[in-house]
A and B are shown apart, each in its own frame.
Chain A
Amino acid sequence: MNKDALPALVANNISKTVILSNSSSNNADAEKKITIISDIELSIEHGESVAIVGASGSGKSTLLGLLAGLDLPTTGAIEFYGKQIQILDEEDRAAIRRSDIGFIFQQFLLVPSLTALENVMLPAELSDNNEIRTKAKENAQKWLDKVGLSHRLDHFPNQLSGGEQQRVAIARAFITEPKLLFADEPSANLDSVNGHLVEDLLFELNKSANTTLVLVTHDPALAKRCEKTYIIKDGHLSLQEVPKPKLADVTPIQKAKQDAK
């Protein structure tokens, strides 16, 4: 069976409940159950770009954590290319993330003591694939060149601007050529110019690499650039029944490089 024929990601009726306990009280009643998301149904095809839109506190990040295998649902099942991930332990889920998933975060989350080049090399060095590991440096240089940062290889994160850091994070997300890419508010911490630059880069690279993209954002305009939009409100997810929007014009990469210089 061709694995790529399977949906990239399927969420079957997943819910997440947390228990808040008041540590200063010994009373058992002080424990409070909060359902953050409930009855989530979702299916994402391979190569598709999907936006999950919601206001702050709506459960976007919780859903992202569950879909990426960073957290486990209280009920329901999540399938990653047909493989149920909620029954796997952390080590097995880490192995899936290592080989098939890329991440871009709002706070960039680069390792501060590694240079831009080393940060991009990091997922490749952690990979189980020999070839990816061996070519880590070469590919890292290639991806940094693609995001217009070939002149910043030896700079540490604190020596880079926000936009540059996010571009390093994008290069890091793509180096292992993952099947699925999660982007959590990728431009929320950037000014509008850099934000758009990063968004353009993300969509362009995603398109050329044919990666499935799950984009979590509160920005409806950004969500429109995806093929499908889900709206999350009070922990409930619904598909936005609107015509499939066109991808916005992307900034040419040459221009991005020029801007960076």
Chain B
Amino acid sequence: MQSKLLTWLGLSFRLFKREFGRGELTVIALSIVLAVSSVMALSSLTDRVQASILMKSAEFLAADKDLVSPTEIKKEVYEYAESLNIRTDKHIYFSSMAFAGDKMNLAVVKAVTQNYPLRGELFIEPLNEESEIFKAKGPEVGNVWISKRLYFALGQSSQIDVGEGTFAVSGIIDAEPDAPFQVFNSGTRVIMNINDIPKTEVIQPGSRVTYAGLFAGEPQALEELESWVKPQLSESQKFRGVKEGASNITSSLERAESFLMLAGVLGVLLAAVAISVSARLYSQRHLDSIAIMKTLGASVRQVQVIYLTQLCLIAVVSILIGLVVGSGLQNIALISLAEYLPKDIPDIGYRPFVVSIVTGFVCALMFSVPALLKLFNVPPLRVLRRNLGDGVSSSISAQAIMATTTIGLVWFYSQDIKLTGIVLGAGLVLSVLIILVSRLLLVACRSASKRIDNPSLKLAIASLQRRSKENVSQVIGFTLAIMLVLILFSLKNSIIQEWQEQIPQGAPNHFIINISQQNIEKIEQRFSEKGIQPEQFYPIIRGRLTQINDEVLKQKRPEEADDGAKFKGKGEFDDNSETANKTQEQANKDKEEARNRLWT
């Protein structure tokens, strides 16, 4: 026994097999491949680059998220995070004198758990120079790792005192993922086990200590933790993520993504025009077949199953090909951009696949279904009255469906209502213009054809007039695609210009800091050997700007300018700047002014 549906599917597959490779279905398939592959390539490229930058940023934080607090963080926070399968780490930052025999030096102490680092890698160089540098987690109780500079400052001692505690120096920090960018005070770092803190007796009421809770895990779990933690935070506590830390880069990337996706719309729009034209031709050619089937007793449902299955088969096959082609293009793009990108690029996430598959199905269905719907309504009587159901021209509702889908796609890719509005407005104006101009041309042709003797030309003009609606809608489609190219061109220029304006011309890409006076010559020599022309060597002193060109600077550093360094004990010496009192807005304005002045 064979079920009805299976029989119909079999019939559909037979028709598909015969039709595929000839004419309209191939155009539809190629159009879907174009749309899917362009969207797949562009979205996966931007996604992967963005993810890789975020991952790199996570290494700088040594976690995905951190909670920075001047007071101890409640253990419930860690318990809740662990219940969400989030890995945790606790840090305490403070500054203290480190002693070794008669030598002493101010050290920036970071106490960590043995989970440290959650992201990135910590490398330790053993004191015994013969041993190799090894990758490590947090130090064990009773042991510390210190920076090379501190090691030498303390006379290469294998034992140091911090507060009341004595610790074995079991290694020198070679690379620390969340190393602070310390221009003035680099390299006096001590990393100790958090359980050794009581031993030091350094933390007293009123001590300047910063606590940090670090978290790493799945994005969804982290989001859940964030939404749970944030309402409980006091004003002095901050819950931060990688994105916040790298906001400039990510917002630039998001803009680039919007731009690239808009370029993807171009591919989709061209595909849409081709699909709708092909679907109409396909429908026109199948009017008789459907009328025959209906005469033989096929119900509308049977016809729908038979023909929509074909469309779905085309969509599925084309989407699969599109995904493969898109991934290939994306890989080629990554290879050609390898020089400018981090080495470890994360794998493609699910998002580009979802976006591309949705695009493929939306293109296949929304732009061909209007023509197919007409096809399904062909009356069986067409077998006797041969012209019945002719003229599968797009109805107003079908055109509305296609226009709405196009607008939806532009918004979906650009995520920008203003841009969508511009594209829509320009599209409407253009459409009206095209309709008016083509009407005028048709009228002119009609009157001209009366005076023409050439029968072929007369026939061509008559054919143009008979299919005026279809012709105009095709012209509108292609004009919109050209319009999009022009919008992309002007957007590209403005985005590049915007980026260029962010950094002054000739700004250096790399800095070298902490060069001692006696080393300058050697370094200059090294640079000239390598053919690099350094701009200039500047002496650096610590100080505070109080006045620029007669203008007295305000005292408070805005909260926003605080990149967390101060919080995490990375800038302990950058003190006494928190006295004045003014609004955030004013602070930002001052910062901007100061920056402008410094650059000019």
Contacts and interface: CB of A to CB of B under 8 A. Distances in A.
Interface stretch (B376-384, B476-484, B530-538, B552-560): B376-384
A103 B7 CA distance: 22
B26 to A, nearest CB: 14
Interface string B16-37: 0011000000000000000000
A96 B299 CA distance: 11
Contact of A134 (B2, B14, B288, B295): B2
B15 interface: yes
Contact of B380 (A70, A114, A127, A133): A70
Contact of A103 (B18, B379, B383): B383
Nearest to B8: A125
Given A70-B381, A103-B383, A133-B2, A91 B292 contact: no
A113 interface: yes
A94 B294 contact: yes
A169 to B, nearest CB: 10
Given A96-B297, A97-B296, 7 more contacts: A70-B379, A70-B384, A91-B300, A110-B292, A114-B18, A126-B302, A134-B2
Contact of A98 (B8, B18, B289, B296): B296
B293 interface: yes
B473 to A, nearest CB: 20
A200 interface: no
Nearest to B288: A109
Contact of A99 (B297, B298, B379): B297
Contacts of A95: 297, 299
A111 B380 CA distance: 14
Main secondary structure of the interface of B (DSSP, over half): helix
A112 B286 CA distance: 9
A113 B297 contact: no
Contacts of B380: 70, 90, 94, 97
A204 interface: no
A65 B298 contact: no
B297 A71 contact: no
A90 B382 CA distance: 14
A109 B380 CA distance: 12
A71 B2 contact: no
Nearest to B298: A126
Interface residues of A, number: 38
B295 A103 contact: yes
* 4 A-B pairs with the lowest CB-CB distances in the bound complex, closest first: A98-B297, A97-B297, A113-B18, A123-B296
B439 to A, nearest CB: 16
Contact of B293 (A65, A99, A122, A127): A122
Contact of B289 (A91, A113, A172): A113
A98 B19 contact: no
6 contacts: A105-B383, A109-B295, A111-B292, A113-B18, A126-B302, A130-B2
A156 B380 CA distance: 23
A111 to B, nearest CB: 5
A114 B15 contact: yes
A130 B1 contact: yes
A101 interface: yes
Contacts of B384: 61-62, 64-65, 70, 105, 184
Interface in B355-408: 379-381, 383-386
B294 A133 contact: no
B4 interface: yes
Most chain A Cβ neighbours within 10 Å, of B10, B18, B296: B296
B462 interface: no
A164 interface: no
B454 to A, nearest CB: 26
Nearest to A64: B384
B498 to A, nearest CB: 54
B434 interface: no
Contacts of A91: 299-300
Contacts of A107: 386
A96 B298 CA distance: 10
Interface in A66-100: 68, 70-71, 90-91, 94-99
Contacts of A70: 295, 379-381, 383-384
B14 A118 contact: yes
B306 to A, nearest CB: 9
Contact of B4 (A65, A101, A105, A133): A133
A114 B14 contact: yes
B11 interface: yes
A113 B294 contact: no
B289 A123 contact: no
A128 interface: yes
